[in-house]
Structure 1
Amino acid sequence: MTAARDGERKAVPNTRARRAGRRGPRRHTRRDLAVLGVLLGIPILLDLALIWGPTLASVGLSFTTWDGVGDITWAGFKNYDNLFTTYPQFWPAVRHNLLWLVFLGVFAAPFGLLLAVLIDRGVRFSRFYQSTLYMPVVLSLAVVGFIAQLILSRDQGALNAVIGGRNPTDWLGDPGLNIWMVLLAACWRHTGYVMVLYLAGLKSVDPTLKEAAAIDGATERQTFFRVVLPTLRPVNVIVGVITVIESLRAFDIVYAVNKGRNGLELLSVLVTDNIIGEAGRIGFGSAIAVVLLLVSMGFIVTYLVQELRGEERR
């Protein structure tokens, strides 16, 4: 019996030694490398073909004159010079895009945060409110534009029918009013998206932080601004980037209302009108697309740099 036990004790270390030797770095087989190449290669090729390929092509075409059919002629910076100096719709479109950004950032994002805080407190019918407020996010901006037409149309709109009067207001035809009406419709959709993002962030806040602040005598307002809001920094960055992207890529809703004209000009609409519209000025439209790309990259890179600096400070 003693000899058998000694043999078992000797066998255990030998078995552990063999297992430890097998735990070394595993070498990839040819099959592993092939699967890894396919899983990484296909998305990279699609990204290069569908994103970076057209992007670089637009940058190159922005320095040329081409109608899509004839020969491509080198034009240098002529398209950019005409864009900044003689094209009458460019600067109004820039102002509208900036107005879109300010409106979504100042009104839609804070209102979405307010709704998220109210729902997070556990008000009655919170699930119903959450579903109702998020429902517009499921709709595309084109559908939101059609809904805006049904409500704000001059002759058959629901709003003028409720208000009444002999001289109905042209909410979508008046250049002084239509941009604000469209912005309200866009905020209606963007608020629900922001609300869901902040709800997810509020659910991840450690409740012990709120309890500690309450023990120290902080009010609900002080607890929110000094404890909860700083912990939502990652969500704030995400909301900021999404707001910038939404404001710069806005196209569907204004095109559905009046094809982005008569006070609703946007850079994305100008790109479409020049490249695939009747004008057929692909080089000039590419120059507008490059300007829109640079503006977008400027905002996004700024947010990323701030986020990286915040991570280093932590």
Structure 2
Amino acid sequence: MSLASRASRSPLAPKTPATGRTRTAPASRLGRGDRLFLAAVIGLPLAALLVLVWLPALASVALSFTTWDGLDLSGIHWTGLDNYTQILTNYPPFWPAVRHNVLWLLFTALLPTPFGVFLAYQLDQKIRFTRFYQTAVFLPMVLSLAVVGFIWEIIYNPDTGLLNSLLSAAGPAHHIDWLGDPSLNLWAVLVASGWRHTGYIMILYLAGLKSFDPALKEAAALDGANGRQTFFRIVLPALKPVNVIIVVVTAMESLRAFDIVYVLGGGTGSKPGMELLSLLITDNIIGESGHIGYGSALAVVLLLVSLAAIGAFLVQTFRKEDT
């Protein structure tokens, strides 16, 4: 027997296809142009993220342990934990701002978010003019929060606003200062924010419903389940990834609320009843007070609260999924 035939019968010999074609060599490594393209596509966004996000965040953490007026670098003095101590003990607006942020989160989670999910589920049905309804509900999301604030400022105007005009047409003349009354202004801003947030949640959930298998709904209907039972027992558990995204988005939107409050509140120096952590940070860093240390410490506190809330929810969610 020849050496060639023995080699062909050896189990270690490479096998060739039955067609007799020669095996193609593995693809060569990326060329120089490909590497440059990948470096540009990946490296530039990472560099921008590092310069515009992470470096300012780390600088803010460092400045939170100092006192500085923001003008002269030689005026930076190390104070340790004094800023945090003063925030938690001798800084009166802090705790009202925390309460308002918690109230903002509860309001957004209990009213606009479920209403957006409800609209998405209804618009997913085969009804007439569904495209028109989707556009009408999502339209506020296209606008920036600043524009939304200007629109609702016109609606809440105590003299010529739409809301007071409607109330006056329905009965005695009303002159309610919706944005000036400390007992009403925060609720007025929450309604304006919820108007925009509803469309955002509707689009997110509607996208998830479009990928849902309709055969599951048909099977539930054959088993005698009504619409409410089908949604809570079939659709809602199946769209768990979308639910996680919605909860995280709702928490982030509530904790970083700023634009619409800034517009309706008349800029920095928030009105009584409209204190939020984001406004306190702005007032101390870029406001007239120039307390960069205080503002940075507040920013760190807000960052830690956000990470703790969202991280705890994600860990608990994925832990249940693994079990």
One fold, TM greater than 0.5? yes
Q: Could you tell me which of 188, 196, 202 is aligned with 2:195?
A: 188
Moved more, 298-307 or 194-203: 298-307
- Post-superposition offset of 1:134: 0.4
Q: Which residue of 1 aligns with 2:302?
A: 292
Q: Which residue of 2 aligns with 1:115?
A: 119
Q: Could you tell me which of 249, 256, 259 is aligned with 1:242?
A: 249
Q: Could you tell me which of 211, 214, 233 is aligned with 2:218?
A: 211
> TM-score of the superposition, structure 2-length normalised?
0.88
Q: Which residue of 1 aligns with 2:42?
A: 40
Q: 1:219 to 1:262 in 2, by over 3 A?
A: same
- RMSD in angstroms over aligned alpha carbons? 1.9
CA distance in 2, matches of 1:270, 1:308: 34
Q: Could you tell me which of 71, 75, 82 is aligned with 2:79?
A: 75
Matched, 1:225 2:252: no
8 Å CA contact 2:164–2:174 kept in 1: the answer is no
Task: Note the alpha carbon deviations across 1:180-226, whole angstroms, 9 max, x for none.
Answer: 11101100000001011111111111111112222222222221111
8 Å CA contact 2:152–2:192 kept in 1: the answer is yes
Moved more, 243-252 or 209-218: 209-218
Task: Note the alpha carbon deviations across 1:91-113, whole angstroms, 9 max, x for none.
Answer: 11111111111111010110001
- Post-superposition offset of 1:300: 2.3
Moved more, 121-130 or 226-235: 121-130
Q: Which residue of 2 aligns with 1:9?
A: none
Aligned residues: 300
8 Å CA contact 2:261–2:274 kept in 1: the answer is yes
The amino acid across from 2:55 in the alignment is G
Select the structure that is richer in helix: 1
Matched, 1:104 2:114: no
Q: Which residue of 2 aligns with 1:201?
A: 208
CA distance in 1, matches of 2:211, 2:174: 53
CA distance in 2, matches of 1:167, 1:196: 37
> TM-score of the superposition, structure 1-length normalised?
0.90
CA distance in 2, matches of 1:166, 1:33: 71
1:265 partner SS: coil
Q: State the identity %.
A: 57
Q: 1:50 to 1:158 in 2, by over 3 A?
A: same
- Post-superposition offset of 1:307: 4.5
- Post-superposition offset of 1:302: 2.3
Matched, 1:161 2:165: yes
1:193 partner SS: helix
CA distance in 2, matches of 1:145, 1:225: 35
Q: Which residue of 1 aligns with 2:13?
A: none
2:97 partner SS: helix
CA distance in 2, matches of 1:166, 1:192: 33
Gaps of 5+ in 1: 1-11
CA distance in 2, matches of 1:15, 1:53: 59
